[in-house]
Amino acid sequence: MFPAVGGRELCHSTSSEMTLTPQVPLKVGVLGATGTVGQRFILLLSSHPFFQLHALGASSRSAGMAYAKAVRWKQVSPIPENARDLVVKTCVPQEFAECAIVFSGLDADVAGDIEAAFRAADLAVFSNAKNFRREPAVPLIVPLVNTSHLSMVQYQRSQLSLQKGFIVTNANCSTTGLVIPLAALEKAFGPIDTCIVTTMQAISGAGYPGVPSFDIFDNIVPHIGGEEEKIEWEAAKILGGISEDGKSFDLRASAPLNVSASCNRVPVLEGHTECVSVRFAKRPPPSVEDVIKSLRSFSCEAQQVGCPSAPKEVIFVHEEVDRPQPRLDRDYQKGAGVNVGRIRPCPVLDIKFVVLSNNVAIGAATSSIINAEYAVLTGVVSH
């Protein structure tokens, strides 16, 4: 086991444990299938080694139509053949009763009631929406950081008298890019007590049609509603631990993490860039060389149990002085890891660096899929 921070084991090796690879494909469904996140789910799931697209859900105006007719496709690859002719369903549990897993790409305006209904129907829901991230018994998981929080599913089920159903959420896209290098640094050097982050977030993070062209061309918008608060709160839940009785998250109560975020929308299509400065609780702080080594060597449980969508490298560290860059680096490893560069001393805190994450991959659908893979391979989802 690696050292814990706030009661959380940052990563532990499971290479010697038996994983439960499905012998037959597991049927899965996608809610919000016609939206931009739903489209990403469908692309990733269409060729998955053990998930099989079975049911697609969208609004009542799309229900009853073949998916290819219902969707306004906005991806660079064509609609997968195994999704084109699937008939779109309404987002009600009975239409997804045969699914072992349901992925939610629903907009937050409607996700809450729908996801709760699916959980109540004893279905396993992996959500990209924000609605349940603050619920006390719902894990908020970045799959390259805190898959151990899936242990809270057992308590969630017991509270609601469920056998199979639960909700697991992945984090806000900008939070995801931040906490991955923070987890690596805390694993190596102990708690970080202060983090200042300035984000430059791609327009795809606002969905489609997103930010009006008149607002974003030749411009930077220095406000994204609710984004700063999400980063500042979510980081503590993700990087914190679970109480000894397994009934709550400690939110870093024993080792507080103070995060100050400033979020900006920039005219980039995909890829969130974040400028980060951190201070370590332990003195003296690590050297730049030690920080680089710790980032490069960081690994996670999702890799160790063999999640097929997990990246080979959790963190790719650039040596070039002008990297990472969204256009050049966002699709490395299909956007499943993060890219870090410009690691250097900070004259105010201890260390500063730049991190780039693909907001529509590891920042969205890819995270949910790796979370589900891990749940299957470790028996949280039975098959």
- Would residue 173 show up in a list of annotated catalytic residues for this protein? yes
Contacts of 306 (CB under 8 A, 6+ apart): 19, 21, 377
From 11, 173, 263, 300, active-site residue:
173
Q: Are 253 and 6 in contact (CB under 8 A)?
A: yes
**Radius of gyration of the chain from its Cα atoms, rounded to whole angstroms:** 20
Q: Are 172 and 230 in contact (CB under 8 A)?
A: yes
Q: How far apart are CA 141 and CA 122, in angstroms?
A: 20
From 263, 272, 300, 307, active-site residue:
272
Angle at 367 between CA 59 and CA 223, to 5 degrees: 75
Cis peptide before 209 (omega within 30 of 0): yes
Given the DSSP bridges, would you call strands 315-317 and 8-9 parallel, antiparallel or unpaired?
unpaired
- Would residue 272 show up in a list of annotated catalytic residues for this protein? yes
Burial of 182 (0-12, 13-18, 19+ CB in 10 A): buried
Buried b (16+ CB within 10 A) or exposed e, 94-104: ebbeebbbbbb
Q: How far apart are CA 372 and CA 363, in angstroms?
A: 15
Known catalytic residues are 173, 272
